[in-house]
Amino acid sequence: MTSDPGHRSPRAATRDRPTARQRGSAAARQRDNRSIPGSVGWSDVRRTTAAGVLAVALLAPTACRSAGEIAEPVPATLTSEVPSAIEPLPAESSVPPPVPSPAPPPATNPPAPVPSAAAGPGPAPPPTPAALGAELARVEVAVRDPATPAADLPALGLAQQVGYRQLAYNPGWRPEVLRAVPASLHAAVVANADAEALLASMHVRRPTTLPKWRIVAPPPAPTILAAHQAAAKEVGVPWEVLAAIHLVETRMGRIRGTSTAGAKGPMQFLPATWSQYGAGGDIEDLTASSKAAARLLKRNGVNGNPRGAVWSYNHSYAYVDAVLAYAATMRADQRAFFGYHGFQVFYRHANGDILLPEGWNGS
């Protein structure tokens, strides 16, 4: 016994050999077909043509297409020449017609990728200074009002962020915007607009591709606030600076991915720096990262020289002053933190600012 499907025993070969009567009938049928010049039985034409087309249809995808490519069209000669290629069999031929090869099994498709939320320009900002001033007044008052439902805060934070980005890109609007905002909010408006402009100034060269990040929903605002306040109390540093760094680095944990410099986690630590301040904790853990940032700031004298301490975190004074502007706003009113928690991930791309929403996957 053998597993080779082409193996045949001598007895089977004898059993399959046609008899003299069968050979005579075959020859007669062949002569009948030859009596009409150029004639081929239509059943043969349909059968042979169908086999040729089927073979082309089954083999074309595997021969012409690779991942990410469109299959090339079948050349016309493969189909148009099929009928003319059929020839009558010799009268006394004892060779059986070839058996078509079995069709290859259909290729299995790879698993579909996880859908990604679409990146886009984000909400349209107010188009005039007066409209922008009215919008910033509305959202700043609502964020600071304890009666504002927690469910409304994410949308308020996004509207706040969009407004300050508009003001940063149009600094000449500032006087008219401030006239539309209550005087009690002037300091917050100026600090937020300054922070946005400082961060924008760090991006002299804008990339032409999007980053390989995943954008996720951040932990709830009370959870983040409690983590930073606990770390600040334990180590002895201002919680507002920790929260501001978290905001600037990963938008309070929305960005998941490694930076171009190799930094990781919600507070974006380089592995070498983490080995100094991480105390053996998980670099991706919010509590461990907040405490590590607090230790770094404390060692660099944040309580006496906050600007120098934040510079030790990132060697850019634009970064330093933006972080301290956000921290000062939260120090003046803790509820400002809840507005910042709603800030989304806008990526400064060569084609303009692009919003990477929660659920976006660039990896």
* pLDDT for the residue 219: 97
Q: What is the mean pLDDT of residues 216-223?
A: 98
* pLDDT for the residue 115: 56
Question: Which two structure tokens, joined as six digits, stand for 131?
Answer: 């409209």
The pLDDT of residue 55 is above 50: no
Number of domains in the chain: 1
The pLDDT of residue 181 is above 60: yes
**pLDDT confidence bin for 150, thresholds 50/70/90:** very high
* pLDDT for the residue 118: 87
Dihedral over alpha carbons 265, 267, 269, 275 (to 10 degrees)? -90
* pLDDT for the residue 212: 92
* pLDDT for the residue 65: 32
The pLDDT of residue 315 is above 70: yes
Q: What is the mean pLDDT of residues 172-177?
A: 97
More confident residue, 260 or 33: 260
* pLDDT for the residue 258: 87
Question: What CATH number is attached to the domain comprising 266?
Answer: 1.10.530
Instruction: Please indicate, yes or no, if residue 208 is contained in any of the structural domains.
Output: yes
Q: What is the mean pLDDT of residues 304-322?
A: 97
Lowest mean pLDDT: which of 87-91, 176-180, 326-330?
87-91
C-alpha–C-alpha distance, residues 226 and 4, integer Å: 72
Q: What is the mean pLDDT of residues 108-116?
A: 50
C-alpha–C-alpha distance, residues 241 and 225, integer Å: 12
Tally of residues, the chain: 363
The set of residues, in sequence order, having a beta carbon less than 8 Å from that of 230 and lying 6+ positions away, is: 287, 290
Q: What is the mean pLDDT of residues 210-214?
A: 93
pTM of the model: 0.69
The pLDDT of residue 9 is above 50: no
pLDDT tens-digit series, residues 56-100: 333 333 333 333 322 333 333 333 333 333 333 334 444 444 444
E-assigned strand segments in 177-319: 214-215, 255-256
Q: What is the mean pLDDT of residues 168-179?
A: 97
Instruction: Please indicate, yes or no, if residue 40 is contained in any of the structural domains.
Output: no
- The residue with tokens 């922070």 is 195
Q: How far is CA 311 from the centre of its chain?
A: 32
More confident residue, 16 or 214: 214
- Mean per-residue pLDDT over the chain, rounded: 78
Range of the domain at 218: 129-356
Helix (H) or strand (E) holding 348: strand 345-349
CA atoms within 13 A on the CB side of 119: 21
* pLDDT for the residue 214: 96
Instruction: Please indicate, yes or no, if residue 89 is contained in any of the structural domains.
Output: no
Question: Please, what sign has the CA dihedral across residues 250, 255, 257, 259?
Answer: negative
Question: Which two structure tokens, joined as six digits, stand for 267?
Answer: 């507070």
Question: Which two structure tokens, joined as six digits, stand for 30?
Answer: 């062949």
Instruction: Please indicate, yes or no, if residue 103 is contained in any of the structural domains.
Output: no
pLDDT tens-digit series, residues 18-30: 444 444 444 444 4
Instruction: Please indicate, yes or no, if residue 140 is contained in any of the structural domains.
Output: yes
* pLDDT for the residue 203: 86
Instruction: Please indicate, yes or no, if residue 184 is contained in any of the structural domains.
Output: yes
Instruction: Please indicate, yes or no, if residue 114 is contained in any of the structural domains.
Output: no
Instruction: Please indicate, yes or no, if residue 32 is contained in any of the structural domains.
Output: no
Cβ distance 254 to 311 under 8 Å? no
